[in-house]
Amino acid sequence: MIGAVVFDLDGVLIQSEEVWDDVRERYTRERGGRYDSEIQRAMMGMSSPEWSSYLHDTAGIPDTPAAINAEVIRRMLAAYEQHLPLIEGAQDAVRRLAGDFALAVASSSNRPLIDAVLRAADLERCFAATVSSEEVAHGKPAPDVYLEAARRLGVEPASCAAVEDSHGGIRSAKAAGMRVIAIPNASYPPDAESLAQADVVLRSLSELTRERVDADV
């Protein structure tokens, strides 16, 4: 029996991967680093300590990881203030499930970004818990962020369904022992091997209903 639903944020509720990509690419190139598709894909799902270190160590940004993280998040918040790229149906899907399940967010985004998005979307009250991967030991695809979300909700991971869009996120939620509902990101789709681990694959948030969350459990 599923008692809780844990949403990823980026790529599930907001179409932010393009924003992250643009912000980090501009910053990396400004600071004389290397940015290409390999760098971009490697960072998907990483926690902020992980990707800021990666940009320093691998992409060649000379600034410290702490400075990299602070500047990227400043630019991300500024971008969201100009335009919040909510995915169509995001607010309806969250509010639809909030009446039947305890809800949480398990995101690779930094805490200020999670809070800013949920506040701007008027969804803060729908979530009983939110977790940033910067608050756990390892980012996705490790299970840490999903395990912590279940802990904060006070439920077993096996009683949770996770809504994910990416290869790292699907693997993370599956490793945590959750039922995985995949809504593949059209811009950055998960690989076939990762997608095969999902219990349910939907085309859009409009299909995310209580029946699809509970089906065949």
Output the six-digit token pair for 195.
């997608």
Whole-model pTM: value is 0.91
Q: Among 120, 27, 109, 25, which residue's Cα sits nearest to residue 81?
A: 120
Encoded tokens for 208: 């995310």
* Residues annotated as catalytic (active site), given as ranges: 8, 10
CATH number of 17-82: 1.10.150
Q: Which helix (H) or strand (E) holds 200?
A: strand 200-201
H helix runs in 44-184, sequence order: 48-57, 65-82, 90-98, 111-120, 144-153, 167-175
Q: Angle at which helices 144-153 and 167-175 pack, to 10 degrees? A: 50
Pick one of 3.40.630.30, 3.60.20.10, 3.10.290.10, 3.40.50.1000 as the CATH number of 4-16+85-214. 3.40.50.1000
Domain coordinates in residue numbering, the chain:
4-16+85-214, 17-82
Q: Which residue type sits at 150? A: A
- Quick one: tokens of 217? 């459990």
129-177 pLDDT per residue, tens: 999 999 999 999 999 999 999 999 999 999 999 999 999 999 999 999 9
Percent composition of the chain: helix, strand, coil (DSSP 3-state, to 5): 50, 15, 35
pLDDT digits (tens, 9 = 90+) for 33-65: 999 999 998 898 788 999 999 999 999 999 999
